[in-house]
Structure 1
Amino acid sequence: MLKVTNTHGSQVADFWAFSAADPGEHLSMEHMRPNLRKLCPAAGDALVTNRRRAILTLVSDSSEGVHDTLVASCDIHRYHELGHQGYHDNCTDNLRMALAAIGLALPQVPCPFNLWMNTPARPGGEMVWLPPVSRAGDAVMFRAEMDLIAVVSACPMDLLPINGADAVPRSLSVTVSAA
């Protein structure tokens, strides 16, 4: 079991999972949405890979279930687009550094499951960037359906209210257990 806890309630987490046998097989938002026939999974739903196999099951979610499956992870280009000059920590680099630490590299970064990210669509399809509706201590629990490598990045976004109205990134807690 893998539990991700929103310690302070306002932090977004970019979440990825890769098959340990072949990291080219990974949790895929593009494949999960049609499999579930909805935009966001709920407790009991299987999360599938780009080969349409279950990699995780979302066992429980103590939050209101507001998560994002559409937005790519932040990267240096996103920060430049938002007007930031120079380097800025970002989820894409956090993923790459985490995988490099175990000797892996990816040719491209898959779209993450953005836990607690509140980016609803408005009438007409416009997407808005709102603070999370999660509370301190809210947690999601996943069950692995295969041997996998999971990466969680506490999103460092501080130019939009993704991590709360004050736009201050905070810590998360991740726990792995046998059952």
Structure 2
Amino acid sequence: MKELELTVPPRDARAFVVPAGHFFRIVSVEGSQVGDLNLWNLHDLSERFFSGKTRAFHGTHVSTGSRLWSTLPNLRAMATITQDTLDWYGWDEDGAGVHDVIGTRCDPYTNLLLHGLEYHWCCHSNLKRALAAKLNIPLSEAEPHVHDVLNVFMCTGFTRDTHQYFMKASPVRPGDFIEFFAEMDLLAALSACPGGDCSASHSSDAAPCHPLKVEIHRCPEDSLGGWRPARVNGYSRSHGTERVK
């Protein structure tokens, strides 16, 4: 049952809550568009999506069955990908895949370093504004919580000769979606990247951009069986200070 639907405007972001045991979808609605996704524990923003550990567990790109893991010390599944209409893409002739956990979000600081220009609608800034608005906190308080993203619908890989990160046009089309099952109460934020399909320029108004849709679905409680929200990692956290005798 659909509980909520919202639109993320082009070159902007929106934050939303997904209760544990609910599904949420990110849907392409008008044209080829990449989204940058952040996830936090709704009750503790210090626990957030850990792209590096997710990459270590599942590889550089994720799809159906992959889990999005949280930061240390809790290290637990935040969400599981349950459907992905781009599963068919796999790996192309350039070695590229879809939905990467390699790249960071585009940001105004890097843009200024590389191009000497200020641009205010990078995914980092968009996510920062969305989080601040959702929590009603100052922008300066929101910024430290913005983190490396899941690049939804983004098509990327590494060059074979120099092993450098590259981007190419996303294969996503209207009607395509990726769906997640929330393993805990989540606060999420999604930015519709200013790069559009990310085939050319970033951090400018040059690329055609489109909105993304978010749907949150509740499933009947009796369909969850014995499922329970993800538990924190069971490590003792002694870190060698209590030696075993």
Match for residue 66 of structure 2? Answer: 45
Aligned Cα root-mean-square deviation (Å): 2.2
Q: What is the CA deviation profile of residues 77-130 of structure 1, one whole-angstrom value per residue up to 9, with x for unaligned ones?
A: 233345363333111111111111113524253110001111211213122221
CA gap of 1:28–1:43, structure 2 versus 1, over 3 A, is: same
Of 51, 60, 66 in structure 1, the residue corresponding to residue 83 of structure 2 is 60
- Classify the secondary structure of the residue corresponding to 2:129: helix
Paired with 1:99 and 1:41, the residues of 2 have a C-alpha distance of 25
Q: SS in structure 1 opposite 2:115?
A: coil
Distance (Å, rounded) in 2 between the aligned partners of 1:91 and 1:136? 21
Are 1:176 and 2:216 counterparts?
yes
> Which has a greater percent of strand?
2
Classify the secondary structure of the residue corresponding to 1:67: strand
Amino acid at match of 1:135: R
- Structure 1 residues not aligned, in runs of 5+: none
8 Å CA contact 2:49, 2:70 repeated in 1: yes
Secondary structure of the structure 2 residue equivalent to 1:8: coil
Q: Post-superposition shift, 1:4?
A: 0.2
Matches of 2:119 and 2:136, distance apart in 1: 24
Matched, 1:130 2:168: yes
Larger radius of gyration: 2
Hey, what's the Cα distance between the residues in 2 that align with 1:84 and 1:136? 35
Does residue 1:98 correspond to 2:127, yes or no?
Answer: no
Distance 1:91 1:28, change over 3 A: same
Question: Counterpart of 1:117?
Answer: 154
CA distance in 2, matches of 1:41, 1:86: 32
Count residues in correspondence.
176
1:170 deviation in Å? 1.0
Equivalent in 43, 56, 73 of residue 34 of structure 1: 56
Q: CA deviation at 1:161?
A: 2.2
Code of the residue aligned with 1:111 in structure 2: it is: D
- 1:59-98 map, 5 Å: 59-63=82-86, 64=89, 66-81=98-113, 83=115, 85-98=117-130
Change (3 A) 1:35 1:86: closer
Alpha-carbon separation, structure 2, partners of 1:128 and 1:41:
17
Determine if contact 2:45/2:145 at 8 Å carries over to the other structure. Answer: no
Q: TM-score, normalised by structure 2?
A: 0.66
Q: Secondary structure at the match of 1:173?
A: strand
1:67 Cα deviation from its structure 2 partner = 1.5
Tell me if the contact between 1:9 and 1:138 (Cα under 8 Å) persists in the aligned partners: no
Structure 1 pair 82–167 and aligned structure 2 pair: CA distance change class (3 A): farther
Structure 1 Cα separation of the partners of residues 118 and 61 of structure 2: 34
Given that 2:194 and 2:207 are in contact with CA atoms closer than 8 Å, whether structure 1 keeps it comes out as no
* Counterpart-to-counterpart distance in 2, 1:4 and 1:31: 22
1:9 deviates by 4.1
